[in-house]
Structure 1
Amino acid sequence: MSKDMPRHHLTETAETVLNRRYYLKDEQGRPIENWETLCRRVANAVAVVDQDLDDYERIRDEFFKMIYDLDFLPNSPCLMNAGTDLGQLSACFVLPVEDSMDGIFTSIRNGALVHKTGGGTGYSFSRLRPKNSAVRSTQGVASGPLSFAAVFDAATETIKQGGKRRGANMGVLRVDHPDILDFISAKEDQEKYTNFNFSVAITDQFMRAVKEDQEYSLVDPSNGNVVRSLRALDVFNKIIDLAWHNGEPGVLFIDAANRDNATPQLGDFEATNPCGEQWLLPYESCNLGSINLGQFVVDGKVNYKRLGKTVHLAVRFLDNVIDCNRFPIPEIAEMTQKTRKVGLGIMGLHDMLIQLKLPYGTEEGRTCSADVMSFIRKEAELASIRLAEIKGPFPAYDAEENTYPPRRNAALTSIQPTGTVSMIADCASGCEPYFSIVMEKNVMDGDRLLMVNKHFETVAKREGFYSTELLENVARDGSVIDNEDIPEQWQEIFRTAQDISPEKHIRMQGILQQNGVDSSISKTINLPSSATLEDVRTSYLLGYELACKGLTVYRDGSRDHQVLNTTASKDEKSAVVSSTGVVRKTTLPDMLSAKRYRLKDVNENTIYLIVCFDDNENPMEVFAKFPFDNRVDLKDKSTMWTTTCRLVSLALRYQIPMEEIIKQLDRSSGHMLDLPAQLGKLLKSFMAGTHHGFASVCPECKGKLVFEEGCEICHDCGYSKCS
């Protein structure tokens, strides 16, 4: 590190993520750079655009310092590829899918080229004629959008197996397409279209029909003919039902997006990028970057002066990226340079609110957030106007068509997922609240490590309520709410994502959308596992009312193979204990699926363990089967195994936390091949997801995946399913 640089300031988690994903490596896979040299590489590559200008060296050094100090971080492709032979720096692309075999497979080819360079793609399948409609050229019938989406999915599966970032797609179908019902239910089987997020493009006309309980028309896009009509409420209910079951499809409010289209003369928006925050025209791309708001609070106030300077510098950085970018195909280069869209976003919103002592879910928290976002948008436009004076406005700017002043960029702001880069910056991702305050991480040899939110640790020590026991309790409960050792004021300030009501999540998204976001917002509306279909309906209707341009809801535990949290959520606890104080035992159906596991005891006797699962693949009963049931010398062992299995089954049905069951089994074990040890090991494997029990596990580090910003993210290693 240079002599004039401050001491290393990254967390251990940040270094892990950087080593795994971002640092350049030699032929043996060993990192050949550190945080300083990475930042130099990125800053130098992006500043080179201005090398003929008088302020080149100043801009280059300010780019470096802004990134190195974690005030602003560009999107992952920029951090990975700037200054390398690849040189593709954008994260978001939308590609057209034309209604012809040539058009479809051209799009598949182009998508593969985008994925190869680390980008994600959005596709609208709305132009494709519906299944079973006539195809004149072959005298046959069309197979429909979903059949081709499967081909796109297979291509992505092949391409993603190399490189640092997975290929990810957004698949969009208009609500008035004749195949909409099939599309809505397409991901009911979660083994299909695994490389896609699916969203329905919902129109204002459809929403009016829902509210008035009217029918609406389905239109064949190939000829404009009305095929048939459907009751809008039935279709809306189907979307709600599937979203309740597993979070898909999402909804995109396409008319709201097109009302803010800065270049309508070039066409209409049809699709977004994979996480939904970037509405783009066909062949457009967008490079993204996020300001870390937690860095701009001083003495309990937002330092607007320094924030404004960072906004201006970040806009210049992102605009430069367009000119130094190596685009995957010429059509993308042409369209991107024509509109020069950038996506300046935020991360660390919750960090800022915590430091300002404002709870995320309150009106005061939302108002403050909106004020900051509005300020960022205003300063970003001023920066873009000044750049236009120096370098000219974006080429598609039309003084007669456009009502705003000449500026360098057709769009300026969005709020994108920052799951991985926010781990580098050690802050909350995007505009999301923290998912947890104290998180348990499993490390080598089965050891546990408690990862404590830096703000919570500071406050708890300063206010005098910090203790190891407290951290253990918060990690176990998954929440600070109703913890008597934590003052009520701080309980409210440290509410996490699942402690905040869906309505308050949506109201935060809505107020940010209306106050400073050009494009859209990637945010997850967290619902408790006990949420009803009516809760999902209310969420969608409120999101539409608040002018959101898209919405993703996620009901806790609704995805197959979701990792069981350390303990039940607050809502789940209330489902376990009745109003009379009596704990309810889970009622099981007459038929359960089961898996059999063959084991050996200490003396190499074969024992079979049979585990029965509920519909969500949670283990509910355990049985032992012995070939030696009739052997007198082993009768006591058989009785002991049977009794232990019955007790574990009872604990499972009474929803005793899995960790507690495993802990007791481990304490009872005298040998690794004893029954308690065998059962404990098996139950641990379910929690880790290795037997498809309980659910999603990071494919890279085997950590727990959580659902944030419309995507599954691993907070241990930075893996993201969407990027």
Structure 2
Amino acid sequence: MDTTLTPGKTSVNVTAPQQLRVIKRNGDVVAFDASKIAVAMTKAFIAVEGDNAGASSRIRDFVAQSSDAICEAFLRRMPDGGTLHIEDIQDQVELALMRAGEQKVARAYVLYREEHARARAAAGDDIEKPHPTLNVTLPDGSRRPLDLGRVETLVFEACADLANVDPQKIVDDSLKNLYDGVSIDGVATALTMTARTLVEKDPNYTYVTARLLQDNLRREALSFLGVAEEATFSDMAELYKPAFKAYVAKGIEFEQLDPRLAEFDLERLGDALDHTRDNQFTYLGLQTLYDRYFIHRDDVRYELPQVMFMRVAMGLALNEDDREARAIEFYELLSSFDYMASTPTLFNSGTQRSQLSSCYLTTVPDDLDAIYSAIRDNALLSKWAGGLGNDWTPVRALGSYIKGTNGKSQGVVPFLKVVNDTAVAVNQGGKRKGAVCAYLETWHLDVEEFLELRKNTGDDRRRTHDMNTANWVPDLFMKRVFDDKEWTLFSPSTCPDLHDLYGAAFEKRYQEYEEMTRNGQLKLFKRVRAKDLWRKMLSMLFETGHPWITFKDPCNLRSPQQHAGVVHSSNLCTEITLNTSVDEIAVCNLGSVNLAQHIVDGKLDGKKLKKTVRTAVRMLDNVIDINYYAVPQARNSNFKHRPVGLGIMGFQDALYAQGIAYASDEAVEFADRSMEQVSYHAIEASSDLAAERGRYESFDGSLWSQGILPIDSIEKLKQERGEKYIEVDTSTTQDWDRIRDKIANQGMRNSNVMAIAPTATISNICGVSQSIEPTYQNLYVKSNLSGEFTVVNAYMVNDLKERGLWDEVMVNDLKYYDGSVQPIDRVPEDLKAKYASAFEVEPRWLVEAASRRQKWIDQAQSLNLYIKGVSGKKLDVTYRMAWFRGLKTTYYLRALGATSVEKSTVERGTLNAVGNGSAPSAQPAPSPQASGEPSANREPRGIEDFLQGKGGQRAPSAGDIDDLGCEACQ
């Protein structure tokens, strides 16, 4: 529109878009009038320069150009039209005056706004209408005025009991982003988005954002269930119960829920639902549940958070005598975040297809029919979201004789290519690629080619880009590395018994085979220098992230079940160490205690921890009987041995709550003592379950039956390996003789009880640090399948606030330095130590803490290693130390090259943004920047370059720590 205005003696033409509308302060919506911008600017000039200012051609031209520029800016922002708030327009006027250098005029304009604001406040007419004329569009297409009262109720409820949050700011800023005709969901989205932009200012806004997000969740679920069209947080005190009952009926009708859930006393369970626990979620946690966990029908989520936890609890209590009491007990544990079940259990408990187990381990025999049968088993297990660990050591090596065809074998690699492609093809219902890890012992003749499976170069027919690989390393090989001796590679077709031997028996037989190569009895072998092979293992680990390094002998010598078989591999996430054979597929069921929830008044609450652990072990044991088994070998094995894997998460949060730095003796001591208590209570709980339900079938002959507990089995490892090759702390604080006596009288319900899984996803749900990991960054944006989420270390923010250091400058410094406090001079040294991030913690502290935990665990732990300024020497020392300290397995290597680009070499302005986390990979492999995998513009380094630390990498992004394709252990 063209408008001529003449304030005083001024006359200018202003062009403005007609499709824009303006929300006035009283809520009225009017057409956008560009002339008012020119009037406001001209009045500001007149206030400073007098009445003659309106006649100035300079001012007249400036006003016209500025008005047009502001209108164009709004058009670019909303090309299809929309609604602006009057305050937004005035902000742009103020900004235009400042940019033009008209500081005096801009100040006059600011004072004018403030004066009128005070006048409106005094008159009480800032917002005159509780239901302004801004309309919202309902799902049926009808319109009604925006209910401002309800908006304020939602926001003020969301901010209740949270410090340092401003509900009125959220309301005011959200209204500026609304337009006439916005949908109801659009209003909720505006509130949510406004709150999430403030998370970097104060971490409590993540809870505000989550609580506002729940308005959408409630509307979607409650309307679908026919309970209510919408509800506030306080309304849910009454609505959760009828929603729960309607949900059970609908779920059974849709054939999604187990019909047996209807047999529970739903009145009693509905009364137990605690709507206040919805307020515990962070934004990331709640959005993760909504996107990936809540049961849905026709893309409508009709499961609410507390209903989900009760559904999981009911599914785990199906076989209990007093089902309702146990379901409530299980619900209390889950909904309080004191303990969280693994993802398969959360997905499927209480449903028609209750595949609740996390991990499956198999051994692949050296027979063509059996090989393809094993691949078929992979497909079936993968279909239902299980993470797979395959032992491929028995399969004959390249060049081995094949009697049936009188030919020679192509070795292991071609079959692994088929496994890789099967994992891609069976994509778990379209959710993600199948997740599998292949294990091979270090003496296998194909091991050198196995090491290169993940390389980006070479014959692609002999590469597996979508699966994980791991070395299964005997102690003898590590001794040869330490002593700089030769190592011999064999084919299992000529040395089949090596596969089932470990410790001193393996060493004796291996040396006999070596002697047979010297006297000509064995023709197919290769001799290498042990250190050269070790260097290649480390080089490939750095370059491609694979194969991981895991240790065969401690896994077997400390296994409670060594009387019943051999541990031939670990699982996808390297925390499970169970026997496998042709007849048995090992299965493990996982869950994690949230250590952060058990720090009370600055110390570990042993009484609360005992209660949590006892209930958690019962829940895990129940999984075995309820679980759906895709193949019979898995069912037979699980019922025979009944292994479970109770782990921990929130370790870093627990340290923060105690004021302990990760890189400290105190942290190592806490790792020791906390894991000892978990172990003590878990073993006792399993023994008490044996008294109630009976011992597991293969108990007799186990280490348990001999009175040998995990802490005691260290001695056997020392004897078999040799004292010079191991150093492990064996101090204790609990009354372990009492537990030995109890097991002697009662037995054990479970062959294995503990394993520490990665917990990347379930720790997000609970809002704590994953597993045993140090903090990755103190401020970053995490990007995953659910969107982008600003994550701020709340402990750090609170400490900085206490010292008066939390301000805009600190936020910008943290953004610039990728969440690190180390380069920020004004941060005190004690806080720099406390808030050191993963790459700022020397890897020896990670290994020491892991060693202290390992002595209490009958299985293993998913241990990521973070190494900054990586070099061949540093990797060599770190992984030798891991073996020397008695660790059973290691997991991902997170490495930063020694020549990483310094911040000072880059234009600072381009870096003043929160580091962006990458989306979880669809494959179970680390991102290139996390593992050192060669990028498209960099040639892979050779061993010598690697050992010299040449070449550098971009820093891994914050999202890399949970980029696994498999969520089974998460």
Is TM > 0.5 for Structure 1 vs Structure 2? yes
Rounded Cα–Cα distance in structure 2 between residues aligned with 1:170 and 1:440: 29
Whether 2:964 is the aligned partner of 1:720: answer: yes
Q: CA deviation at 1:470?
A: 0.8
**Matched residue pairs, number?**
596
1:508 match: secondary structure = helix
Alpha-carbon deviation of 1:38? Answer: 0.7
Please give the per-residue CA displacement for 1:78-111, whole angstroms capped at 9, x wherever unaligned.
Answer: 0001111221001111012110111111011111
Tell me the CA shift for residue 494 of structure 1: 1.3
Is 2:581 the counterpart of 1:292?
no
Report the more deviating stretch, 432-441 or 708-717.
708-717
Does 2:700 match 1:429? no
Q: Does 1:376 align with 2:678?
A: yes
Q: Label 1:331 to 1:414 Cα distance change in 2 as closer, same or farther (>3 A).
A: same
Q: Does 1:484 align with 2:825?
A: yes
SS at match of 2:301: coil
Stretch deviating more after TM superposition (424-433 or 139-148): 139-148
Aligned residue in 2 for 1:189 = 456
* 1:420–1:719 Cα contact (<8 Å) kept: no
Give the whole-Å Cα distance in 2 for the aligned partners of 1:69 and 1:388.
Answer: 28
Provide the secondary structure at the position in 2 that maps to 1:285.
strand
Deviation readout 1:346-385 (Å, 9 max, x if unpaired):
0000000000001111111110121000110010010000
Q: 2:646 aligns with which of 344, 357, 379?
A: 344
1:269 aligns with 2:584: no
Query: Share of identical aligned residues, percent?
Result: 27
Deviation at 1:46, TM superposition (A): 0.3
From 862, 865, 889, the equivalent of 1:550 is 889
Match of 1:365 among 667, 680, 687: 667
Instruction: Mark the runs of 5 or more structure 2 residues left unpaired by the alignment.
Output: 1-235, 239-273, 496-512, 514-521, 708-742, 934-955
The answer on 1:535 being equivalent to 2:874 is: yes
- Distance in 2, matches of 1:718 and 1:696, equals 9
Larger strand proportion of the pair = 1
Q: Shift in Å at residue 2 of structure 1?
A: 4.8
Q: Does 1:211 align with 2:211?
A: no
User: What is the one-letter code of the residue matched to 2:486?
Assistant: E
Higher share of residues assigned helix = 2
User: 1:388 aligned to 665, 676, 690, which one?
Assistant: 690
Match of 1:475 in 2: 815
Mapped partners of 1:153, 1:553: distance in 2: 19
Deviations 1:473-496 (A, max 9, x none): 112212112422322222211111
Larger radius of gyration: 2
Deviations 1:486-524 (A, max 9, x none): 22222211111111012222212222112x221111121
1:46 and 2:316 correspond: yes
CA distance in 1, matches of 2:679, 2:373: 37
Contact 1:290 1:345 in 2 (8 A): yes
**Alpha carbons of structure 1 residues 86 and 718: separation in structure 2 relative to 1, 3 Å:** farther
Q: C-alpha displacement at 1:188, in angstroms?
A: 2.2
Structure-2 residue corresponding to 1:95: 362
Structure 2 CA distance for partners of 1:204 and 1:342, relative to 1, 3 Å: same
| Within-5 A mapping of 1:141-156 | 141-156=408-423
Over 3 Å counting, the alpha-carbon distance change for 1:466 and 1:696 in structure 2 is closer
Q: Counterpart of 1:264 in 2: which secondary structure?
A: coil
Counterpart residue number, 2:657: 355
Shift in Å at residue 12 of structure 1? 1.0
Instruction: Tell me the C-alpha RMSD between the 2 structures.
Output: 3.0
**What TM-score does the superposition give when structure 1 sets the normalisation length?**
0.77
Q: Compute the displacement of 1:661 (Å).
A: 4.3
Distance 1:182 1:706, change over 3 A: closer
C-alpha displacement of 1:36: 0.5
Long gaps (5+) in structure 1: 559-570, 578-582, 584-654, 665-683, 689-694
8 Å contact kept, 1:423–1:718 = no
Contact 1:346 1:415 in 2 (8 A): yes
Partner of 1:107: 374
CA distance in 2, matches of 1:400, 1:171: 28
Q: How does 1:599-610 map to 2 (within 5 A)?
A: none
Q: For residues 431-482 of structure 1, what are the alpha-carbon distances to aligned partners after superposition, in whole Å with 9 as ceiling and x for unaligned?
A: 00111111135799x9x97431222223222332211321221122121124
Q: Who is 1:242 aligned against?
A: 540
How far apart in 1 are the matches of 2:773 and 2:443? Answer: 32
Cα distance in 1 between the residues matched to 2:329 and 2:294 = 21
Does the CA contact (< 8 Å) of 2:759 and 2:771 recur in 1? yes
Contact 2:894/2:931, CA 8 A, preserved across alignment: no
For 1:393 and 1:240, how far apart are their aligned partners in 2?
43
Q: Distance between the aligned counterparts of 1:264 and 1:219, measured in 2?
A: 25
Other structure's SS at 2:297 match = coil
Q: Distance in 2 between matches of 1:717 and 1:183?
A: 25
Q: SS at the partner of 1:505?
A: helix
Deviates more, 1:339-348 or 1:159-168: 159-168
Q: Which of residues 477, 498, 501 in structure 1 aligns to 2:842?
A: 501
Residue in 2 that maps onto 1:403: 706
Instruction: Tell me how far 1:662 sits from its aligned partner.
Output: 8.0
Distance 1:248 1:388, change over 3 A: same
Superposed displacement of residue 222, structure 1: 1.6
Determine if contact 1:510/1:548 at 8 Å carries over to the other structure.
yes
Q: Structure 2 counterpart of 1:472, which letter?
A: N
1:656 equivalent in alignment to 2:923: no
Q: Secondary structure at the match of 1:314?
A: helix
Q: 1:222 to 1:160 in 2, by over 3 A?
A: same
Asked if structure 2 preserves the Cα contact closer than 8 Å seen for 1:128 and 1:221, the reply is yes
Displacement after TM superposition at 1:301 (Å): 1.3
- Measure the CA separation in 1 of the matches of 2:927 and 2:277: 32
CA drift at 1:542: 0.3
Question: Which SS does the other structure have where 2:706 is aligned?
Answer: coil
After TM superposition, the score normalised by the length of structure 2 is 0.58
Contact 1:705 1:713 in 2 (8 A): no
CA distance in 1, matches of 2:351, 2:929: 32
Rate the CA distance shift 1:429–1:713 in 2: closer, same or farther, 3 A: farther
With over 3 angstroms needed to count, the CA separation of the structure-2 counterparts of 1:450 and 1:706, relative to structure 1, is: farther
Displacement after TM superposition at 1:417 (Å): 0.7
For the residues of structure 2 that align with 1:535 and 1:211, how far apart are their CA atoms?
15
Identify the match of residue 349 of structure 2 among 65, 72, 82.
Answer: 82
Partner residue, 1:135? 402
Match of 1:510 in 2: 851
Q: Is 1:198 equivalent to 2:469 in the alignment?
A: yes
- Larger RCO: 1 or 2 (CA < 8 Å, sep 6+): 1
Q: Is the 8 Å Cα contact of residues 816 and 912 (structure 2) preserved in structure 1?
A: no
Displacement after TM superposition at 1:19 (Å): 1.3
**Aligned with 2:388 (options 121, 145, 155):** 121
Are 1:521 and 2:861 counterparts? yes
Sort the Cα spacing of 1:25 and 1:60 in 2 relative to 1 into closer, same or farther, 3 A.
Answer: same
Code of the residue aligned with 1:504 in structure 2: it is W
CA distance change for structure 1 residues 218 and 709 in 2, over 3 Å: closer, same or farther?
closer
Alpha-carbon displacement from aligned partner over 1:125-152 (angstroms, at most 9, x marks no partner): 1000001211111222211111111100
- How many angstroms apart in 2 are the aligned matches of 1:399 and 1:379? 23
Question: Are 1:36 and 2:334 counterparts?
Answer: no
Residues 2 and 194 from structure 1, CA distance in 2 versus in 1: closer, same or farther, beyond 3 angstroms?
farther
Question: Which residue of 255, 261, 267 maps to 2:553?
Answer: 255
User: SS of 1:327's equivalent?
Assistant: coil
Distance in 2, Cα, partners of 1:343 & 1:709: 27
Output the amino acid matched with 1:491.
Answer: K
Confirm or deny: 8 A CA contact 1:361 1:504 kept in the other structure: yes
- Name the CA distance, whole Å, in 2 between partners of 1:713 and 1:663: 15
Structure 2 vs 1, CA of residues 389 and 465 (structure 1 numbering), >3 Å: closer, same or farther? Answer: same
